[in-house]
């Protein structure tokens, strides 16, 4: 309960901070439009040559793109900034300031930053998704919608856990900044359903970097492809990743000796 | 002339020594970058397979060749980013470079040229692994190899020049990230980076002639992957020379005006 209140307060501060830089909103809108434009061009190029890709037709792939943009926005608004700050704090020895506060360390380090303007991506992604669904004549049931939102939430948690695991390695290997670059490169694979990738890559995108669960599975829910088995699998993996990442963070914190003194 | 030659050799040596210290960091960076062509390669191979084995003149094998050579060309045309220029000008870092008796651009060109040597060496095992997995169809002739070698270095120079010009906009205004993003989007579409240009609509292919992007990216790849005639290759090299020479002149002209601006900002 206290954690929730804390998270809410940090969110409020984060939003107020962002309101100081309103010009960034316009830059963000432009960047989102450029990214959307190039994405649509790519999609159009593919479908100028073929009518389906790996069993997905054009509107269904548009839905995948919508989820991809939405999830990307969530990651860049709430997950990535916190993890990058954690990395920086570990390297500079500034984490002490967070650790000495009387709150759960994991909650604290996970809510300190929030990039409000990235939500432009979330909104845009939802619009793209809406367009795709209207082209499919909104053939989605209540259960599909519930499955979609739960899959999206689990996907976001899994990406968060993945980042936390990677970031925690900063306790031992100080220079992990390139990993952010690596993640962005691999996340881009989520623009297409993971089914089209060769098996080894599909496995990597499912179990090493959970891009498949973050994008493809929610999209499957909306296009009526998701079965209970996959949903339960996602739930199990979310739980496992959550406890694994928490354990690793705690282990890392124990070996953190600070550098500010 | 000899002064420049010595400068370049020393600067490249320094850069090689510096970058060779961080093979793991360089690898992470490279693998993050290699994800992009692998995605395109998989998507387009899937399309080709769905269309009976060929699309736009490319088979899965030639797509593999295109995108694997792509990874090398991409490494080759990494140059100092316009965001770096923004930082350099805002922080007044440029002042230090201006004290030296040599044009600051030479510092960038030589430093990144040295880095390329490290990049190429680190790239070889990755290319080998990609080749084992994706089985490219690549049978270049000796001539194509030579043209490719010249073309990738020219591509590097073209991209350095265009990115520097873009970065120099920062002399006049400091909030330019939106402009940079537009530029990179145009580059993605018009260079052959997203897909080989022959898969683009005809008007895009024609438009691509008038921009530097194609000559700094698609042309070298096509020279090696081997769908170009002798004439095409000569035209391509000619366009590259034109962009390098023309670009260099424009850089000098703008630099002269810009540098006066800079002393006003920094003073």
**Considering only alpha carbons, which residue of chain B is nearest residue A25?**
B178
- Residue A188 to residue B50, Cβ atoms within 8 A: no
User: Would the CB atoms of A34 and B185 count as touching at under 8 Å?
Assistant: yes
- The C-alpha angle A8, A9, A12, rounded to 5 degrees, equals 90
Count of pairs with CB atoms under 8 A, one residue in A, one in B: 89
The pLDDT tens digits for B194-239 are 888 888 888 988 999 999 999 999 999 999 997 788 898 999 999 9
The 8 Å CB, 24+ separation contacts for A44-52 are A45/B194, A45/B195, A45/B199, A45/B200, A46/B43, A46/B44, A46/B47, A49/B47, A49/B51, A49/B55, A49/B56, A49/B199, A50/B47, A50/B50, A50/B51, A50/B55, A52/B50
Average pLDDT over residues B127-151: 90
Closest chain A residue to B31 measured between Cα atoms?
A: A182
Among the listed ranges B22-36, B140-154, B196-210, B253-267, which one has the minimum average pLDDT value?
Answer: B253-267
Q: Which residue of B25, B31, B32, B199 is the best one to mutate when testing the A interface, meaning the one whose CB has the most A CBs within 10 A?
A: B32
Tokens of B22: 């961080």
Is ipTM beyond 0.90?
no
CA B166 and chain centroid, separation? 14
Q: What is the DSSP string of A145-164?
A: HHHHHHHHHHHHHHHHHHHH
Question: Which residues lie below 8 Å from residue B159, measured CB to CB, with a gap of 6+?
Answer: B77, B79, B212, B216
A contacts of B86 (beta carbons < 8 Å) = none
Please tell me if residue B181 touches chain A, with a CB cutoff of 8 Å.
yes
User: What is d(CA A211, CA B129) in angstroms, rounded to the nearest whole number?
Assistant: 23
pTM: 0.84
Put simply, the answer to whether B178 touches A178 (Cβ < 8 Å) is no
The contact set of A with B (CB < 8 A) is 23, 26-27, 30-31, 34, 37-38, 41-42, 45-46, 49-50, 52-54, 175, 178-179, 181-186, 188-189, 191-192, 196-198, 200-201
Buried b / exposed e along B96-108 (16+ C-beta atoms within 10 A): eeeeeeeebbeeb
C-alpha–C-alpha distance, residues A82 and A164, integer Å: 10
CB B140 within 8 A of CB B58: no
Asked if residue B153 lies in contact with residue B76, where contact means CB atoms within 8 angstroms, the answer is yes
Q: How many Cβ atoms sit within 10 Å of the Cβ of residue A201?
A: 18
Max Cα–Cα distance, chain A, nearest Å: 63
Question: B227 at the A interface (CB within 8 A)?
Answer: no
| Chain A CB contacts of B175 below 8 Å | 23, 27
> What is the predicted pLDDT for the residue at A260?
52
> Hey, is the C-beta of B31 within 8 angstroms of any chain A C-beta?
yes
Using DSSP bridges, classify how beta strands A52-53 and A56-57 pair: parallel, antiparallel or unpaired: antiparallel
Distances (CA, A) of A55 to A44, A64, A129, A216, B225: 17, 13, 19, 13, 30
A187, A162 Cβ separation under 8 angstroms: no
Give average pLDDT by consecutive 10-residue segment, chain A, 261 residues: 83 85 82 89 87 85 92 91 86 78 81 86 92 84 87 92 86 69 84 87 86 88 86 91 91 74 47
Which of B26, B39, B42, B200 should be substituted to probe chain A, the one whose Cβ sees the most A Cβ atoms within 10 Å? B39
Enumerate residues 6+ apart whose C-beta is below 8 A from B44.
Answer: A46, B55, B58, B63, B195, B199
Dist CA A26 CA A10 (whole Å): 24
Q: Report chain B residues whose CB lies below 8 A from the CB of A30.
A: 178, 181-182
pLDDT at B158: 94
Other beta carbons less than 10 A from residue B145's beta carbon: 12
Is residue B55 classed as helix, strand or coil in its secondary structure? Answer: strand
Written as six digits, the tokens of B204 are 């895009």
How far is A252 from chain B, CA to nearest CA, in Å?
22
CA distance A28 to B177: 10
């Amino acid at each position: 309960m206290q954690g929730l209140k804390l998270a809410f307060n940090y969110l409020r501060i984060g939003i107020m901070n962002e309101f100081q830089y309103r010009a960034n909103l316009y830059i963000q809108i432009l960047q989102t439009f450029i990214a959307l434009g190039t994405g649509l061009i790519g999609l159009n190029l593919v479908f100028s040559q073929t009518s389906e890709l790996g069993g997905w037709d054009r509107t269904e792939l548009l839905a995948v793109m919508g989820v991809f943009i939405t999830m990307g926005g969530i990651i860049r608004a709430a997950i990535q900034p916190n993890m990058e700050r954690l990395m920086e704090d570990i390297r500079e020895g500034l984490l002490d300031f967070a650790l000495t506060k009387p709150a759960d360390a994991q909650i604290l380090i996970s809510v300190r930053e929030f990039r409000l303007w990235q939500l432009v991506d979330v909104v845009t992604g939802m619009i793209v998704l809406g367009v795709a669904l209207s082209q499919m004549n909104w053939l989605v049931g209540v259960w599909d919608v519930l499955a979609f939102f739960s899959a999206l939430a689990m996907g976001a948690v899994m990406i968060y856990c993945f980042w936390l695991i990677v970031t925690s390695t900063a306790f031992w290997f100080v220079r992990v900044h390139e990993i952010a670059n690596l993640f962005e490169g691999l996340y881009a694979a989520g623009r297409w359903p993971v089914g089209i990738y060769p098996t080894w890559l599909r496995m990597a995108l499912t179990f090493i970097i959970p891009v498949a669960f973050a994008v493809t599975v929610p999209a499957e829910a909306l296009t009526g492809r998701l079965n209970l088995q996959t949903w339960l699998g996602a739930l199990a993996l979310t739980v496992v990743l959550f406890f694994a990442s928490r354990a690793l963070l705690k282990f890392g914190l124990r070996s953190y000796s600070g550098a500010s003194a | 002339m000899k002064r420049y030659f010595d400068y370049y050799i020393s600067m490249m040596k320094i850069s090689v020594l510096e970058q060779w210290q961080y093979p793991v960091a360089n690898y992470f960076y490279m693998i993050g970058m290699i994800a992009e062509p692998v995605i395109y390669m998989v998507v387009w191979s899937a399309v080709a397979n769905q269309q009976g084995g060929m699309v736009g003149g490319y088979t899965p094998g030639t797509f593999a060749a295109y995108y694997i050579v792509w990874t090398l060309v991409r490494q080759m045309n990494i140059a100092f980013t316009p965001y770096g220029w923004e930082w350099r000008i805002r922080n007044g870092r440029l002042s230090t470079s201006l004290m030296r008796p040599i044009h600051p651009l030479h510092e960038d060109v030589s430093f990144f040229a040295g880095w390329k040597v490290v990049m190429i060496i680190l790239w070889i095992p990755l290319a080998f692994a990609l080749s084992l997995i994706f089985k490219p169809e690549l049978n270049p002739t000796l001539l194509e190899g030579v043209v490719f070698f010249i073309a990738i270095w020219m591509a590097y120079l073209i991209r350095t020049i265009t990115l520097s010009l873009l970065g120099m906009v920062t002399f006049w205004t400091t909030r330019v990230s939106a402009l940079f993003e537009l530029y990179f989007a145009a580059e993605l579409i018009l260079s052959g980076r997203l897909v080989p240009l022959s898969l683009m609509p005809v008007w895009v292919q024609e438009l691509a002639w008038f921009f530097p992007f194609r000559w700094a990216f698609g042309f070298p790849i096509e020279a090696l992957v081997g769908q170009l005639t002798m004439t095409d290759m000569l035209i391509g090299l000619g366009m590259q020379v034109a962009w390098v020479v023309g670009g260099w002149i424009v850089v000098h002209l703008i630099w002269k005006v810009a540098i006066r601006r800079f002393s006003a900002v920094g003073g």
